[in-house]
Structure 1
Amino acid sequence: MLRVTLNGVQVECAYDSTVLQVLRANGCDVPALCHDDRLKPVGACRLCMVEIEGEPRPVASCTTLPAEGMVILTDTPALRSLRSTNLSLLATHYPVDAVQRDPAHPFHRLLDEYGVLPGNQPRDFLFHDASHPYLGVDMDRCISCYRCARICDEVQGQFVWWAWERGARTHLAPDGDTLLDGGCVSCGACVDSCPSGALFDKRSTKPERWTRSTCVYCGVGCQMDVGSSNGRVVQVRPAASPVNRGHLCVKGRYAFEFNHAEDRVTTPLLRQDGKWHAVSWDEALDYTAGKLQEIAARDGSDAIGVLGSARATNEENYLAQKFARVVLRTNNVDCCARVCHTPSAKALKTMLGTGAATNSFDDIERTKLFLLCGCNPTENHPIVGARIKQAVRNGAQLIVIDPRRIELADYATLHLPVRIGQNIALFNAMAATIIDEGLLDHGFAADRVEGLAQFVEFIRDYAPEKVADACGIPADLIRSAARLYAKAKPAMCFHGLGVTEHTQGTEGVMTLINLALLTGNLGKAGAGINPLRGQNNVQGAAQMGCDPNSLTGAQSISEARTRFEAIWRAPVPQNRGLDLMAMMDAAAAGSFTALWAFGYDVYLSLANVNQTGKALEKLDLVIIQDLFMNQTARAFGHVFLPAASVFEKDGTFMNSDRRVQRVRQSVAPPGDTRPDWWIIQQLAARMGHASQFSFDSPQSIWNEVRSVWPAGAGLSYSRLERESINWPCPDESHSGTPFLHAGRFAIGQRASLACIPVMPTAEQRDANYPFMLTTGRTLTHFNAGTMTYRTPNTQLQASDVLDMATSDAQRLGFHDGEPVQLSSRYGSTILPLRLSEAIQPGELFTSFHHPDQLINCVTSPYRDRIVKSPEYKVTAVQVAHLPQNING
């Protein structure tokens, strides 16, 4: 630490701080209109000037580093005069009426403090844009601080804002007629940083209070401050945290109005005579408890299943699986992780001993190379995507493996557009190159890898020259990618559903783990194998025990049974549980008769809608616990229990890099809606288990979670209030584990390589179905569209679209924007066509967000060979003109 004298008082500060940081840390608030803590300091506005003993003239505090013994003055007559002059220059063209309309604005308060009047000199060449649903632009108020351009470049990496013309006519505007034309992704960072009101949020309601919470969209786990007024969420702004560092995406920042949508279900409902009827909680719960008891007595406990939710908190998912095992006496409990990253968890658990990401997002800035496989972070995990983009701009290398040319491919050292369904062939070919070219990390392999000799023999059959045609990638490009990955130290792999949602999804992740083992990219900072989890708490739902084969903490039932039975005061069921897909199969066969799903639209979300519908229609009892009347409830529901949203309850979520983070109530639940944990406890009490479900708060539930999960025992609410901790964290003196497997693996000192042969999916193209379709998410919408399609995000994208290579469209006579019929062997739907240079000929892409388009009516019935996840990513399809468009 350094010691400096600030306005006559000696204070301590860090060597790497700036003088401005020292001032603010000690309560000295000097103005700094060009400064934002998220940006590199530039010292342009000259308002943060201070006098330093020995310096001939004032210096900018934001760009000056402190030195031992430095004497600093911040408020002298000369400094006030200098700031007043600089403010006058900044306000030369500033409109008077803006100050009058909003005197509380920060820039306006500065003008008032220093007695500066706006110059009000008009300019006729400035950019204005009223077309954006969220962002307003009035560059009459621009003071040329360039914070909008800098934060767009340095944080988001979108490069929307440009300085146009020269001299007195220099002004900022995007390269397009509107923000969106100029490439804006609606993150709001420019608005958040703008000090003058030139850029502003169109929502004008001022919050009465702010509440720190966690985003409800993807698995990144961004922290945010929720602004509320009159019982409504009215604004969200980014919070500074290790995960998102004061940044949010369009969904996290703006797509919150679903919370107050007019079709929100706010009272319990029972379906009688084919119609829904509002009832009291007592009537709904009594009816549900009675039906569950009746079915258990008639068909057995294993005829009933419970589905946890990525939308619900850890505490609520813990109670859901406890309810299944203690009250219903069944291990039939699962969650939506089954259809996305259970393959990741299974592969990582089997090979390394822990079924979660090996490294923290903090390592993004530490790695030398990114290997991105089957994921599209800038759209699906936007804050991680932006951080990756900035790391690459700062020198990290990037390999993108994806059938499409995603945005990050434009920044990549190499892009490998692997043919859909050929991941394992490609990853094996990279492994073969590492062996063949002597790129193996021999020291790591000798200390920590088993089965090398057997693997060397196996992998010879996958030399790049042998599989290049199948992969659709030249052999020399495969070898180049393998060399880059092997030689970069450390190298960090992120993968997504483009790897996992295949018949060999689990094995695909295993082949990625092989690459990390061969190159020594495990057990160190900046490395690892890291699944990007798609939903906010899908990691937590599975980790809390919403899995038929494991208890809370991903502990095996056989090994952890005694601990849980002691805490629960009840036996853990012996029978093997059904996963989600097995529940559907058993329902279709008539041996499974009741399902309770909360926060999960099963019918809309599962692949092959026709197959799912036939299973659901056979159930005697379908209990839906959600915010809205979803597609499953409409078609098959018998009971609807209205749940509180993320903004209306307390608890925790668990993000992709193993952080447990607090969720805090911002507004009261509307009507008769209740938190999921309250509903579960009420139902348990009616079924004779009140004493085991008598928690008075989410914190008390979490304390029980800590008691049964040794690796999370140190994650108390008191610590979570002030720290962001990666588990394992076994006690409250432990600092957490940013990266796993240092020194040894959770499975032991050594991990075994996996010899994974390619076993092609049964879903293949033919003359009738000549295209291969893959599906995924987009930036502006999310999953089943339940939330985002109830917000102005619909103005950013109105529906799902079908992307087709321009060459294919020209060959077949299709036109951009034309509605077409997309058909597979399983069903069909209608989508608008979008011509794209990012798509390979013979391949198609669409998202699956809009419920009316029901994309899963075309996806196949095939599943992962090990964990039964649906194969969403490979479907043979045809595309046809609609009758009225044949000649159009």
Structure 2
Amino acid sequence: MARITINGTPHDVDAGALLLDALAQAGAAVPHACHDPRLAPGGACRLCVVEVEGQGRPVASCAATVEEGMQVRTHTPALEALRRTNLALMAAHYPSQAAASEPSRPFHQLLAHYGVQAQDEPRHHQFRDDSHPYIGVAMDRCIHCARCVRICEEVQGQFVWETLQRGEHTHVAPGKGATLLEGGCVSCGACVDTCPTGALFDKRSPAVPETWTRTTCVYCGVGCQMDVASAGGKVVAVRPADHPTNRGHLCVKGRYAYEFNHAPDRVTTPMIRRDGAWREASWDEALDFIADRLRAIIAESGPDAVGVLGSARASNEENYLAQKFARVVLGTNNVDCCARVCHTPSAKALKAMLGTGAAANCFDDIEIAGAFLLCGVNPTENHPVVGARIRQAVLRGARLVVVDPRRTELAELADVHLALRPGTNVPLFNAMAAVLIEEGLLDQAFLAERVTGFDDFAAFVAAYAPERVAGDCGVSAADIRAAARIYAGAGAAMCFHGLGMTEHLQGTEGVMTLINLALLTGNLGKPGAGINPLRGQNNVQGSAQMGCDPATLTGSQLIKDAGPRFEAAWGCRLPATHGLDLLQMMDAARAGRLKALWAFGYDIYLSLANEAATRDALAGLDLVIVQDLFLNETARAFGTVFLPAASFFEKDGTFMNSDRRVQRIRGAVPPPGQAQPDWWIIQALAGRLGHAQGFAFDSPRAVWDEVRALWPDGAGLSYERIARESLHWPCPDEDHPGTPVLHQSRFPIGQTAALAPIGFVPTPETTDETYPLLLTTGRTLYHFNAGTMTGRTPNTALRPTDTLDMAPADAAQLGLADGEPVRVHSRHGTATLPLHVTAQVQPGQLFATFHCPELFVNRLTSTVRDRQVRAPEYKVTAVRVERG
């Protein structure tokens, strides 16, 4: 603390704080127009000036820091006159009608407070653009505070807005295009959020908010906190919250893609399919129907003839109840979730080698990392807020290695881009390990204290020297060596990976090769380091962590270890048979052994690889229960009963993000019609099946308290604490501060971890004369998974369709033109997509997104699965392409 005098009164304020903030803290706030706490101080508007004893002229308090003994005057007549003069200069070209019609704008409040009138003088230059679906432009209101320019540079890092020309011709406009979108705008809305006048505004917020509700974003696994505005029972706007996870920032999906919640095709009444047609039903009728069918199936075929699938879009509490329902009510361990097809390989590798199947470090470490190793992950599109933070760290000097077949946005900034051939992750990272050992780029102290198996591993990995494997990987040996040196030489290097690592034949083993690199260099157990999977969906970490996995209970505890505790708490015996995972359920359904499936918040037909195999499996089921917001593709083709669920905007609970934070969700609006939260539906069905006891929670909080009682690492995460703190598990009691960095002194498996020699096993999905091109699938910035939510928002104007991305050389060779429909054939199926010719992909390789149900890209993907956990190999499919 520092003691300063403000207007003659001493105050204790934070030492080193911005003077502007200290004044506000002391109750002597000063006006400002160019300041935003997310930005570096600007000092341009001169409204926040104060008099500081010993300074010859007024000081901009937004650019000065507190010093012990300061004597400050904030509202002298001279200062107030100066502020009034500066406001008058800003208002000279300002429209008076704007100030009168929107008095709540910060700049308009300042004009009113100081009695300054807008003068309506016309401007010489004014940018105009009405083409953006979300962001409106009214540059007659621009006061040249440059906040839009600075936030686009300093927070998002997109550099769209620029201050152009000088003098009376000065104006703000996109510098690289005639419109916002042509200029590279990614529609994050940060410029709108910071604008004090409404020169930039949200087009789609017509209603005056009645209530603001703090909640957690439902899209990717970053876990951004946001404030939701509601009016008339509908969501009308979303704003970013100032929180450690997202630091006052959101992406286009979190900020703008909320209108799905009130889409006209939202299903709000239970339905039963009778005689091939959906017919509305009451909750009693639908639940009684399901209960009768389940009883009959279990009586005839046993409890293991039924499967339950949790949801990455449901809360932790709901996923906990789903797996409890499977085990207690049905009597089966046949319970899984969508983590199976994306990040179960990460969880398996991390848990097997280190003891915890989750990210080792937290997002706060991004700003202190010396280098980043990004492997099969494209965060600026798929985890945009984290991607922006990584980009800013690199712009400040952090080193960057990107491992990705495509030339992604961050690959453009990379010191080294390893554009490997899809399917060669294992030999590439083995080669990096070989370089570390050969060149002595090791943390010897960490190896001696925390690592075993070095000699055997060194002998094994020597066969993967870069010069031996570079050709197979499609990259140069020199680049492999350069990447290894950057990773080892940074002091602290943070590794992030995504589905480009996990969705392979050797997905689990590929992640293990990354862990080897961290063990060799000591990049575990310290800030700015770690092996960190970026989870693709908002609660994919939580759904699996809550026990939606056939082999583990809540807290990722093995059944053989934790089973007796759960049996005592639940008052029953756990099923003795080993459960089926999602892919095994599909196999069992095709074989006639699985008879019924309950899936909520998960369109498995559209999402699973190899549509033909999934279709055969689902067609063989006697009962398919779909619980969702909309009649998804699984329901359309195969559903027996549809149960309308409440969205995350309409219920309470918690999500768990990628860096192990448990965060609240809170209902902002009521569910429409008869829709109900998933936890209510699960409990209602449990009661009908004779298990009301154990499923009689009156709120998600009560469910969470049972979770905490059974999960030792989450015992300290009470609702009260997570409402006021940003906590990472493990957090074993309510006095524990949480654990942002894992493995600091030991691993959960012991003092040491063993290096894992991983041999390369090539995928059987290879090219030949008939199928000469390799297809990889993935996400895009503007859409999310099956498009269930984003496809019902104006994001469709920003990205109307999936495309097949092809290198210019391949398009020329095949005689294909950009934009034309092309027919893609694999050994497994056919799909037709519009062609996008781009240099982002290499010759011989293709990329496609999978968000449009009508295009159904998973008709192409193969039956290959991860060797350990059976995640499908979405990332390597041999295809040929012809004119559509």
Question: 2:259 aligns to what?
Answer: 257
Q: What is the CA RMSD across the aligned residues, in angstroms?
A: 0.8
TM value normalised by structure 1: 0.99
1:303 CA displacement: 0.6
Within-5 A mapping of 1:169-184: 169-174=169-174, 175-184=176-185
For 1:159, give the aligned amino acid. Answer: F
1:75 CA displacement: 1.8
Question: 2:68 aligns to what?
Answer: 68
Range with bigger deviation, 709-718 or 563-572: 563-572
Question: 2:576 aligns to what?
Answer: 574
TM value normalised by structure 2: 0.99
Within-5 A mapping of 1:588-737: 588-737=590-739
For 1:855, give the aligned amino acid. Answer: V
Question: 2:487 aligns to what?
Answer: 485
- 1: distance between equivalents of 2:312 and 2:9? 52
SS at 1:547's partner residue? Answer: coil
For 2:684, give the aligned amino acid. Answer: Q
Verify: 1:99 aligned to 2:99, yes or no: yes
After superposition, the C-alpha distances for 1:46-67 in whole angstroms (9 at most, x for unaligned) are 0011122333332111111112
Range with bigger deviation, 136-145 or 704-713: 136-145
For 1:20, give the aligned amino acid. Answer: L
Within-5 A mapping of 1:34-113: 34-113=34-113
- 2: distance between equivalents of 1:803 and 1:124? 43
- 2: distance between equivalents of 1:21 and 1:436? 53
1:123 CA displacement: 1.5
Question: 2:192 aligns to what?
Answer: 191
For 2:412, give the aligned amino acid. Answer: D
- 2: distance between equivalents of 1:240 and 1:105? 19
For 2:341, give the aligned amino acid. Answer: V
1:6 CA displacement: 2.5
- 2: distance between equivalents of 1:819 and 1:142? 43
After superposition, the C-alpha distances for 1:146-180 in whole angstroms (9 at most, x for unaligned) are 00000000000000011211221011110211100
SS at 2:879's partner residue? Answer: strand
- 2: distance between equivalents of 1:67 and 1:184? 40
For 1:98, give the aligned amino acid. Answer: A
- 1: distance between equivalents of 2:144 and 2:220? 35
Question: 1:777 aligns to what?
Answer: 779
Question: 2:761 aligns to what?
Answer: 759
For 2:244, give the aligned amino acid. Answer: P
- 2: distance between equivalents of 1:744 and 1:70? 47
- 2: distance between equivalents of 1:569 and 1:871? 40
Given candidates 229, 249, 252, the residue that maps to 1:247 is 249
Aligned residues: 882
- 2: distance between equivalents of 1:514 and 1:765? 30
SS at 1:63's partner residue? Answer: coil
Question: 1:845 aligns to what?
Answer: 847
After superposition, the C-alpha distances for 1:157-209 in whole angstroms (9 at most, x for unaligned) are 00001121122101111021110000000000000001111111112222111
Range with bigger deviation, 136-145 or 221-230: 136-145
SS at 1:690's partner residue? Answer: coil
After superposition, the C-alpha distances for 1:687-728 in whole angstroms (9 at most, x for unaligned) are 111111010000000000000000000000000110010100
For 2:51, give the aligned amino acid. Answer: E
- 2: distance between equivalents of 1:685 and 1:522? 47
- 1: distance between equivalents of 2:27 and 2:311? 44
For 2:84, give the aligned amino acid. Answer: S
Range with bigger deviation, 472-481 or 710-719: 472-481
Range with bigger deviation, 14-23 or 374-383: 14-23
- 1: distance between equivalents of 2:545 and 2:714? 11
After superposition, the C-alpha distances for 1:578-619 in whole angstroms (9 at most, x for unaligned) are 000000000000011000000000100000001000000000
Given candidates 523, 526, 532, the residue that maps to 1:524 is 526
1:14 CA displacement: 1.5
SS at 1:652's partner residue? Answer: strand
1:8 CA displacement: 3.7
Question: 1:10 aligns to what?
Answer: 10
- 1: distance between equivalents of 2:119 and 2:198? 16
For 1:757, give the aligned amino acid. Answer: G
- 2: distance between equivalents of 1:364 and 1:14? 25
- 1: distance between equivalents of 2:236 and 2:645? 20
The percentage of aligned residue pairs carrying the same residue is 66
Given candidates 819, 827, 830, the residue that maps to 1:828 is 830
SS at 2:685's partner residue? Answer: helix
- 1: distance between equivalents of 2:8 and 2:639? 71
Within-5 A mapping of 1:148-227: 148-174=148-174, 175-203=176-204, 204-227=206-229
1:69 CA displacement: 2.4
- 2: distance between equivalents of 1:692 and 1:66? 57
- 1: distance between equivalents of 2:373 and 2:198? 40
Question: 2:868 aligns to what?
Answer: 866
Range with bigger deviation, 441-450 or 871-880: 441-450
1:125 CA displacement: 1.9
1:101 CA displacement: 2.3
1:91 CA displacement: 1.1
1:487 CA displacement: 1.3
Are 2:15 and 2:68, in contact at CA under 8 Å, matched by a contact in 1? no
Question: 2:118 aligns to what?
Answer: 118
1:738 CA displacement: 0.4
For 2:576, give the aligned amino acid. Answer: Q
- 1: distance between equivalents of 2:271 and 2:790? 24
Question: 1:136 aligns to what?
Answer: 136
SS at 1:46's partner residue? Answer: coil
Are 2:124 and 2:169, in contact at CA under 8 Å, matched by a contact in 1? no
Uncovered stretches (5+) of structure 1, i.e. residues with no partner: 883-888
1:563 CA displacement: 1.2
Verify: 1:33 aligned to 2:33, yes or no: yes
For 2:525, give the aligned amino acid. Answer: G
Question: 1:885 aligns to what?
Answer: none
For 1:199, give the aligned amino acid. Answer: L
For 1:106, give the aligned amino acid. Answer: P
After superposition, the C-alpha distances for 1:485-529 in whole angstroms (9 at most, x for unaligned) are 111110010000000000000000000000000111001000010
Are 2:140 and 2:199, in contact at CA under 8 Å, matched by a contact in 1? yes
SS at 2:307's partner residue? Answer: strand
SS at 2:410's partner residue? Answer: helix
Range with bigger deviation, 434-443 or 141-150: 434-443
SS at 1:764's partner residue? Answer: coil
1:11 CA displacement: 2.2
For 1:340, give the aligned amino acid. Answer: C
For 1:282, give the aligned amino acid. Answer: D
1:296 CA displacement: 0.8
Within-5 A mapping of 1:391-430: 391-430=393-432
Given candidates 294, 303, 310, the residue that maps to 1:292 is 294
Uncovered stretches (5+) of structure 2, i.e. residues with no partner: none
- 2: distance between equivalents of 1:878 and 1:7? 76
1:100 CA displacement: 2.5
- 2: distance between equivalents of 1:85 and 1:186? 35
For 1:631, give the aligned amino acid. Answer: E
Within-5 A mapping of 1:425-464: 425-464=427-466
1:16 CA displacement: 2.4
Question: 1:554 aligns to what?
Answer: 556
For 2:192, give the aligned amino acid. Answer: V
- 1: distance between equivalents of 2:25 and 2:576? 58
For 2:54, give the aligned amino acid. Answer: G
- 1: distance between equivalents of 2:441 and 2:251? 39
Question: 1:886 aligns to what?
Answer: none
For 1:62, give the aligned amino acid. Answer: C
For 1:640, give the aligned amino acid. Answer: F
1:17 CA displacement: 0.7
